[in-house]
Amino acid sequence: MEKQESTLELWSLAPSKGARTNRKRLGRGEASGVGKTCGKGNKGQKSRAGASIPAWFEGGQMPLYRRIAKIGFQSRKRLQGINQYRIVDVTVLNAFDDGAVVDVETLKAIGKGPRGNKLAGIKIVGNGEVTKKLTVKVQAATAGAKKAIEAAGGTFEAAEK
């Protein structure tokens, strides 16, 4: 006897075993396993009809998104660059010749100038030593930096942006 090849026909199509199951018939007696409370437990908001509670709802407790610290704030001044400076250490000034005028352009020439448009300018910081007499014309400097420049016989002048 010869084996016949099976062909795919509409009448021979059927879902896989276990792919289709009957729906749960709720409230049809205790023996069904889902009688009386229909699998919703006893009382409470979730047992009521039409209950749909958002995943983040904590039942009136102060929600997590209001308990945790808020991060990521940037002030308007920072975004506009009003209080943002390119920081240059006071020891960098020793790279210039004695009696030179140090301003934004000369600092740009040695690669220490401001980067980007949103900056208020350059600020000299640090408590190091300056060994040369210089005239420094930048937007800002710390008290320690001014003291170091003046101790070497130089002067500091606040420049406009």
Residue 158 has pLDDT above 70, yes or no: yes
Quick check: is 133 in a domain?
yes
Band of the pLDDT at 119, cuts 50, 70, 90?
confident
Quick check: is 52 in a domain?
no
Quick check: is 114 in a domain?
yes
Burial of 120 (0-12, 13-18, 19+ CB in 10 A): middle
Quick check: is 82 in a domain?
yes
Quick check: is 28 in a domain?
no
The count of domains in the chain is 1
User: Six-digit token pair at 78?
Assistant: 């920072």
Quick check: is 51 in a domain?
no
Of the candidate ranges 10-14, 43-47, 76-80, 154-158, the one whose mean pLDDT is the lowest: 76-80
Quick check: is 40 in a domain?
no
Q: What is the pLDDT of residues 13-56, one digit of tens each?
A: 999 999 999 999 999 999 999 999 999 999 988 899 988 889 88
Contact of 112 with 78, CB cutoff 8 Å = no
Q: Please report, for the domain that includes residue 82, its CATH number.
A: 3.100.10.10
pTM over 0.75: no
Mean pLDDT over the full length of the chain: 89
Segments forming the whole domain that contains residue 106: 76-158
